[in-house]
Amino acid sequence: MKKDKITIYDISKKLNISAATVSRALNNNPKISEKTRALVAKTATEMNYKQNRLAQALKNGRTNNVGIIVPYINRSFFSSIIRGIEEELNPNGYHVIICQSHEEEENEIQQLNTLLNTQIDGIFMSVSKTTQTTDHIRKALEENTPIVFFDRKLEFPGVSSVVLDDFKAGFIATEHLINEGCNRIAHLSGDINLEIYRNRFEGYKSALKEYNIAYDKNLVIQTSSKIESGIQAVTQLWELENKPDAIFSAGDYAALGAIQELKNRKIKIPEDVCVVGFSNEPFTKYMELPITSIDQTPQMMGKIAAQVFLEQVKGNQTISIEKKVVLAPELFIRESSNRKLLKFK
Amino acid sequence: MKKDKITIYDISKKLNISAATVSRALNNNPKISEKTRALVAKTATEMNYKQNRLAQALKNGRTNNVGIIVPYINRSFFSSIIRGIEEELNPNGYHVIICQSHEEEENEIQQLNTLLNTQIDGIFMSVSKTTQTTDHIRKALEENTPIVFFDRKLEFPGVSSVVLDDFKAGFIATEHLINEGCNRIAHLSGDINLEIYRNRFEGYKSALKEYNIAYDKNLVIQTSSKIESGIQAVTQLWELENKPDAIFSAGDYAALGAIQELKNRKIKIPEDVCVVGFSNEPFTKYMELPITSIDQTPQMMGKIAAQVFLEQVKGNQTISIEKKVVLAPELFIRESSNRKLLKFK
């Protein structure tokens, strides 16, 4: 489909000089005489040669493009992080291209290779849930492409990351439910193999311990980030003899499913059961019964990840800077868990 | 930051042959003798030279990457289209990279240039609301990069597009409200400068005419795709002496805002006022009062756009294929406009 483009080889042939000389002349390399540079420039113009910015990038090693890999672009958390990265990088002359892994390791590997092949100057990524190997990341690092992890990180020496304090988030969500008078607090945990979910779970257990509430493993259900998973969890929990009086879900979609199933069973929220979600997805506040949720300050996470990258590429230092940034979570208390509000009704 | 990589120039210098010869030898060009090809291959291996897939792409003109430009990645409509494109193109060996314009012409121009500079094989795009000029698109077409428009298109000879029948969508949404017994139907129109919104508006007017309902321009409010805009529209409409008994919004977020404000005013939905949105955003069905909406079959739109592209790049035909695909909308009737459901309560 591509038109035949004039290349440096055509110019080289016409002038009977080497392609390397043409290339150096076009890039104003001082090793090439002023006369030759002028001749090459004139010939290039006559032949309608257009210097390919990418070809140039292949030489000077910079494209001013960065790549972002996220599991899904349509989760508010990830799209807000991307927004944060763009807001910080665009004024610095960088352009952002985005790929999604759909939580599949195979996709993640391919997307990373795609980005490396488009010669990006850096990669921001949040690791897919199914990723088991790290060769693709090692490869990027070996090519000296800076990587900044956000939210879901892997540990590599010299590689920076920006994450949420998920332990604290789990703690304050659970503590809030205890303060609302709940003591049979169920936890919809997400995939415990992932560090972020494990930390939320640990925060939950730690809060129970702090307030002398016995941990009951029957109250912990591994969920996915789907609505159906929350429905199933409530179905399972309500088969228990001693039923929960609160649900702390490590994801908003599972929390939404749980609420749908609780309503289905005519269980009153927050009177009988308080519910807290995680991520502060926009729909949590649109609901007629707005859902309490943990905000992960994703836009801030994106901005800081971008700042870490900019610091890393600034100048031409050969030392690597490793920054581990941990952000504080914020609890947005809404009707789904706020019994105090009821008193004023 | 990049390590000094071995280039064809280094090999050329070592062997004292031209870079062009090295390049041709590495690409197994039959013009180069078997002996030279073997020597270059051996030297390249010894010098740890890695052929850059992108540099290769610069020669053969194919990268197997395609770019998508959307206004926002975090609208379900656009992320579903992207999903559809990926599902169709991934099995064909293509990788998808995504950029967002944030509805800003300047961003759109920059993102298109970024994609062209990464040597993508094709571009899928939905034009930003603020785009006034078309030079950036002309430039891509002049470079013979295939473009497929989806949803929001521009007219260029030979350029394909996949869009929704927005006129029909506007018609069936309005007709549904008429069938529910409404005859003071307000329209939250979106930005009438955009073809898609103009067509929805024309469909609305056409349905009114068909059912002999007088068109009243006071019932039409230009809205943005924000919740606040729907709140403002209801505030303005309820200042009218003769108030609406239905709202057809050309976007789901404005419909959501309208519903919030109607509830705020203790107006019953659907008894007093029926509401229909547009796009079938996931939240429309999560609500306690699920919102009737037009589904634009975005995943299908993405799949068909991808098929149109594949047809276009298949083989090496120099003729251009122009396809104009128009998809049929589907109305999902839910509680916000379904008075018949009330009878069974």
The 10s digit of each residue's pLDDT in B98-120 is: 999 999 999 999 999 989 888 78
- Sort B280 into a burial class: Cβ within 10 Å, 0-12 / 13-18 / 19+: buried
Asked whether residue A210 carries a pLDDT value surpassing 80, the answer given is yes
Residue B173's nearest CA partner among B304, B64, B302, B333 is: B333
Higher pLDDT, A32 or A256: A256
pLDDT tens figures, A289-303 = 899 999 999 999 999
Confidence of residue A3 (pLDDT cuts 50, 70, 90): very low
Confidence of residue B231 (pLDDT cuts 50, 70, 90): very high
Asked whether residue A327 carries a pLDDT value surpassing 90, the answer given is yes
Measured in angstroms, the CA of B24 and the nearest CA of chain A are apart by: 11
* Cross-chain residue pair B63–A118, CB shorter than 8 Å: yes
Whether omega before B270 lies within 30 degrees of 0, making that bond cis, reads yes
Q: Is A19 on the interface with B (CB under 8 A)?
A: yes
* CATH (one of 3.30.590.20, 3.40.470.10, 3.40.50.2300, 1.10.10.60) for A166-296+331-344: 3.40.50.2300
Give the pairing of strands B330-332 and B292-295: antiparallel
**DSSP line for B230-250:** HHHHHHHHTTSSS--SEEEES
Provide mean pLDDT across the span B18-37.
79
Tell me which of A86-100, B281-295, B307-321 is least confident: B307-321
Q: Which of B27, B95, B148, B225 to mutate to test the interface with A (most CBs of A within 10 A)?
A: B95
Structure-block tokens of residue A27: 């890039």
Q: Is B314 on the interface with A (CB under 8 A)?
A: no
Tell whether pTM > 0.95.
Answer: no
Angle B310-B316-B318 (CA atoms, 0-180°, nearest 5)? 100
- Rounded Cα distance between B217 and B192, Å, is 14
- Rounded Cα distance between A246 and A52, Å, is 60
Percentages (nearest 5) of helix, strand, coil residues in chain A: 45, 15, 40
* Cross-chain residue pair A1–B316, CB shorter than 8 Å: yes
Confidence of residue B250 (pLDDT cuts 50, 70, 90): very high
- What is the model's pLDDT at position A316? 55
Asked whether residue B26 carries a pLDDT value surpassing 80, the answer given is no
Do residues A74 and B282 touch, judged by C-beta distance below 8 A? no
- Rounded Cα distance between A292 and A341, Å, is 13
| Domain residue ranges of chain B, discontinuous segments joined by + | 8-51, 63-164+297-327, 166-296+331-344
CB contacts, 8 Å: A80 with chain B: 74
Structure-block tokens of residue A249: 């879900």
Q: Which of A8, A16, A54, A108 to mutate to test the interface with B (most CBs of B within 10 A)?
A: A54
Do residues B301 and B84 touch, judged by C-beta distance below 8 A? yes
What is the interface pTM, i.e. ipTM, of the complex? 0.74
- What is the model's pLDDT at position A51? 59
* CATH (one of 3.40.50.261, 2.70.240.10, 3.40.367.20, 3.40.50.2300) for A63-164+297-327: 3.40.50.2300
CB contacts, 8 Å: A86 with chain B: 100
Q: Is A316 on the interface with B (CB under 8 A)?
A: yes
Interface of A with B in 264-283 (CB under 8 A): 282-283
Residue A211's nearest CA partner among A249, A251, A184, A186 is: A184
- What is the model's pLDDT at position B52? 55
* Cross-chain residue pair A79–B95, CB shorter than 8 Å: no
Q: Compare CB distances from B2 to A19, A144, A282 and report the shortest one's residue.
A: A144
- Cβ-proximal residues to B41 (8 Å cutoff; 6+ apart), any chain: B25, B26
| Long-range pairs for A221-224: beta carbons < 8 A, 24 or more residues apart | A221/A186, A221/A187, A221/A188, A221/A189, A222/A189, A222/A190, A222/A191, A222/A192, A223/A188, A223/A189, A223/A190, A223/A249, A223/A250, A223/A251, A223/A254, A224/A190, A224/A191, A224/A254
Confidence of residue A319 (pLDDT cuts 50, 70, 90): low
Residue of B nearest to A117 (CA): B54
pLDDT tens figures, B142-172 = 888 899 999 999 888 888 999 999 999 999 9
Q: Is B119 on the interface with A (CB under 8 A)?
A: yes
Asked whether residue B269 carries a pLDDT value surpassing 60, the answer given is yes
Structure-block tokens of residue B47: 């010098």
Confidence of residue A317 (pLDDT cuts 50, 70, 90): low
The sheet with strand A220-221 has its strands ordered as A220-221, A185-188, A246-249, A274-278, A292-295, A330-332
Enter the DSSP assignment of B186: E
- What is the model's pLDDT at position B28? 67
CB contacts, 8 Å: A53 with chain B: 117
Provide mean pLDDT across the span A192-205.
94
Asked whether residue B272 carries a pLDDT value surpassing 80, the answer given is yes
CB contacts, 8 Å: B117 with chain A: 52-54, 57, 63, 65
Confidence of residue A83 (pLDDT cuts 50, 70, 90): very high
* Cross-chain residue pair A143–B3, CB shorter than 8 Å: yes
Which CATH architecture is the domain B8-51 placed in? Orthogonal Bundle (1.10)
